[in-house]
Every structure is written in C-alpha cells, then in structure tokens.
Amino acid sequence: MALNFLLQAVRYKLHVTSYGETATIRILAAAEAAIAMALFLGSWTQITAIAAAVVVARWLVSPATRPLPRSTSLLALVMCLSLLVTGAGALAFDLPL
C-alpha cells in the first residue's frame, strides 16, 4: 500500500508541476498511475513490481523526472524488489524466481 500511495503522489506531482510538459513526462505519469492501480488491486504483483522498479530506476537515472529526493527513490526501489522476491502473499499466485 505504501508503494501504491508513493506512486500516486509522484504521478500527481508530475502531472501538476509537469517539469516542461514533455511526452516522456506524460508517459511516465500514465505508467505510474497504471502501476499504482495494479498494485492496489493486487493483480500480477511480481510483474507490476518489475515495472515499478523500472520506473523508479528511471527516477534515479534522470534527475529531471525525479520528483522526490534520492533517498525516497531508493526506498521505493527497495520496496519494489521486496515485492518481487516475496510475492503478494500466502494466497497469491507467485512466479517461480
């Protein structure tokens, strides 16, 4: 849930402040919204965690798309990797890693 709220807040911040309003920012905001919704619904959690890790890695690589401090971005990356390794829960369908 925390990762979901973090991604939603970042999507809102990117949409409102729109750092130059480029197509990359719009695509990144749409991807973050889709990832946050998938995490909230619990669908394909491990695949969604991989997608979220890619988005967070993009935040870390490109300072122009990073709306949060580096430490928060690193925490989000750790949360994504934790979801990838542990899966969604006891009753969830997990991918064999």
- The model's pLDDT over 10-20, given as tens digits with 9 standing for 90+, comes to 766 665 665 55
Residue 47 lies in a domain: yes
Residue 82 lies in a domain: yes
pLDDT tens digits for range 50-78: 999 999 998 889 877 777 788 888 998 99
On whether the CB atoms of residues 21 and 53 are closer than 8 A, the answer is no
Residue 95 lies in a domain: no
Residue 57 lies in a domain: yes
Residue 42 lies in a domain: yes
Contact residues for 45 (Cβ-Cβ < 8 A; gap 6+)? 38, 39, 83, 87, 88, 92
The number of domains in the chain is 1
Residue 93 lies in a domain: no
CA dist 67 to 13, 24, 83, 86, 90, Å? 7, 14, 22, 27, 34
On whether the CB atoms of residues 1 and 78 are closer than 8 A, the answer is no
The length of the chain, given as a count of residues: 97
Residue 32 lies in a domain: yes
pTM for the structure as a whole: 0.74
Q: Which domain holds residue 25?
A: 2-86
Residue 94 lies in a domain: no
